[in-house]
Amino acid sequence: MQCSRLIVLLAVAAASKHKHCRGCEVSEGGGKCTRPRPWGPAFLQFKSEVQQTLVASAGSCAPFAEWPDVDGGITCGSCRALVKAEPYGGRCDRYCESFGHRCTAAAEERAENCEVLEEKRCDESISGTSDILCTCEREGTPTTPGCFGELPGLAQNEGGSVGQVSTSSASECQNSCEQNPACNSVSFCREWGCFLKDRSFTGTEATQQKGSCRTFFKMPCSVTTTPKPASTTSTPPPTEPGCFGELPGLAQNEGGSVGQVSTSSASECQSSCEQNPACNSVSFCREWGCFLKDRSFTGTEATTQKGSCRTFFKMPCSATTPMPSSTSRSGQFKLRVVSYNLYWWNAFGQNPWKGEQIIDNIRERLAPSAIGLQECDSPSRIQESTGLAQASTFAGAQGVMMDPSQLRVVAGTSGSQDLQATGKWGPRHVTWVQLADRATGRTFWHFNTHWCVHSGNGRTCNAEVRYTGAKNMLTVIREKAGNSPVVVTGDFNANMNEQGPQHFLQNGFRLAVVEWVDAIFYSEHWNLVSQGSGDAAGSDHRPVFAELELL
């Protein structure tokens, strides 16, 4: 008994000499991580939460112990680490090349940790910071994960945990599983991250619905089709819904109710109607969901406006889609464009109640077809809460989102570019995407931006700097869009009499609306139907909107 007590006392004394932080050991005095743990994935108990210490995969990159200039020993798993910027000119490509690797991703960190503040290019010099997040892989390492199947929901039996990764990217989640020999599947949820599991799947397992969660599982790349899920019968409904027409608003007479589905996806709403023999149409509203109806339509019925609501109706696939009453024979369509600065650090960081007001404002009052967002740190949060879909790349916390029931992204058209007009808060970008109207098939380009406002950190921002950004932005617009229809949204941080905004007006663009420093411009291809500004809700900017008709 005395011997047992002595062993326990020695163990407690040894443990008390060190404190632990994620992936590191810290001396008794606290402070930054002094060195990474030398062993592989291990589960540690922190405040009743199980967390994982991540290590680099030997197959895709060198062990982190061999990486030079890792700042404070902070590593992030998936071949990413926080490294010192100065020796490499703030460039991750130069850092990775210094030890025989190649850069696959670069970012500016938020607060001396693995959290990404802003994604960057590998060959981009990240200034104004002492450390950067670099993802480095050995030459010849595949950049895409192996083959994965997908269940229609989250597996009821997920299997045992073999790791966890903080990411909102399904492909990065699958990459992490590829690099972990113990991982056979992942539970991926945009809201909560990536959970690596040891269970193997065939694709026929039972599932459950939990947020956006899905189970992805490793499968041989030689298999040409993903096995059918358990919820699929021997005569499955098509994965795409049958043919549906669309009214320009909500039918004044919707018909009788035959069901209701909680979803913010128009296609899922239509699929639910396809699977219900009593359903002939749906009343779909991003704000309130999907309401199955028994009434049949021809496409000429009277409508009313209620939020984002639309009536979709079953029609023979061999028939020509009836032309909505707001669409002319020449293919005109109306677009509701919005520009909104979300004031993220305050409204979603310090005062989350303001963020909820902003989300309600977008979903219930603004109801955009396309929206340019500024100061938006998490487009996935907006997507989950409003039903809008991310359309463009986001850079510098700004980009374009869309109503997926009205618009679709033209594949391969999204991008961003540094405007070379940097102020106190770092580089300023233009983001872009080409969108297509689902009803008419006609396309247009949407460009979004957020120009500099303050000087500081050794950088100057003024009207001349913004003018430089405007000229560079117009060059990008001409290169990408040519003579195609264009809308431009942004927080320009400028009076419209400044050279920057005037540069747009002097080169074929028209001003649809301006409120303080927020504005919408449009090309000559559009007719301006109406415009205005909305309630700021929890932001420090009022959103601006324009109803445009493509001629």
Q: What is the DSSP string of 378-393?
A: -HHHHHHHH--EE-S-
Query: Helix, strand, or coil here: 330?
Result: coil
CATH classification at residue 424: 3.60.10.10
- CA–CA dist 78, 488 (Å, integer): 37
Domain-embedded: residue 324:
no
Closest CA to 184 of 163, 167, 212: 163
Number of C-beta neighbours around residue 139 at 10 A: 9
CATH classification at residue 168: 3.50.4.10
- CA–CA dist 502, 233 (Å, integer): 61
Measured at the CA of 327, the angle between CA 323 and CA 330, to 5 degrees, comes to 95
Domain-embedded: residue 168:
yes
Tell whether 418 and 530 lie within a shared domain.
Answer: yes
**Contact status, residue 545 vs residue 366, Cβ threshold 8 Å:** yes
Q: How far is CA 444 from CA 182, 183, 363, 481, 483, in A?
A: 47, 43, 23, 8, 10
Tell whether 166 and 264 lie within a shared domain.
Answer: no
Domain-embedded: residue 289:
yes
- CA–CA dist 122, 106 (Å, integer): 5
Tell whether 294 and 433 lie within a shared domain.
Answer: no
Tell whether 409 and 510 lie within a shared domain.
Answer: yes
Tell whether 123 and 152 lie within a shared domain.
Answer: no
| Residue 307 Ramachandran class (φ > 0 left, ψ -120 to 50 alpha, else beta) | left
Q: Name the domain count of the chain.
A: 4
Question: Residues with Cβ < 8 Å from 413, sequence gap 6 or more?
Answer: 432, 433, 434, 445, 480
Give the end of a domain, one of 138, 161, 187.
138
Specify the residue for token string 């163990």.
11
pLDDT in tens, the chain (551 residues): 444 444 434 444 443 333 333 333 333 333 333 333 333 332 222 222 223 333 344 347 888 888 899 988 888 877 889 999 888 888 888 888 888 888 878 888 887 888 878 778 787 888 888 899 998 887 654 444 467 788 878 888 898 888 887 776 676 788 788 878 888 999 988 667 788 899 988 888 888 877 778 898 888 765 433 443 433 333 333 333 457 777 777 888 999 999 888 877 777 788 889 888 899 999 988 778 889 999 998 877 887 777 778 888 888 765 433 433 333 334 578 899 999 999 998 999 888 899 999 999 999 899 999 999 999 999 999 998 899 999 999 999 999 999 998 999 998 899 999 999 998 888 999 999 999 998 888 999 999 999 999 888 888 999 999 999 999 999 999 999 998 999 999 999 999 999 999 999 999 999 999 999 999 999 999 999 999 999 999 999 999 999 999 88
- State the DSSP code for 153: S
Tell whether 26 and 54 lie within a shared domain.
Answer: yes
Domain-embedded: residue 11:
no
Domain-embedded: residue 60:
yes
* Beta strands 486-491 and 443-450, pairing class: parallel
Q: Exposed/middle/buried for 501, CB within 10 Å: 0-12, 13-18, 19+? A: buried
- CA–CA dist 440, 455 (Å, integer): 46
Summarised one tens digit per residue, pLDDT across range 278-290 is 999 999 887 788 8
Tell whether 123 and 184 lie within a shared domain.
Answer: no
Domain-embedded: residue 319:
no
Specify the residue for token string 């109710």.
257
Tell whether 292 and 213 lie within a shared domain.
Answer: no
Tell whether 486 and 416 lie within a shared domain.
Answer: yes
Domain-embedded: residue 299:
yes
Tell whether 133 and 175 lie within a shared domain.
Answer: no
Give the end of a domain, one of 78, 112, 138.
138
Tell whether 272 and 164 lie within a shared domain.
Answer: no
47's tokens: 């405040």
**Domain span at 435:** 333-550
Tell whether 118 and 211 lie within a shared domain.
Answer: no
Q: How far is CA 134 from CA 61, 108, 378, 396, in A?
A: 12, 9, 20, 18
- CA–CA dist 125, 437 (Å, integer): 38
Domain-embedded: residue 99:
yes
- CA–CA dist 214, 193 (Å, integer): 11
- CA–CA dist 300, 270 (Å, integer): 20
pLDDT of residue 331: 56
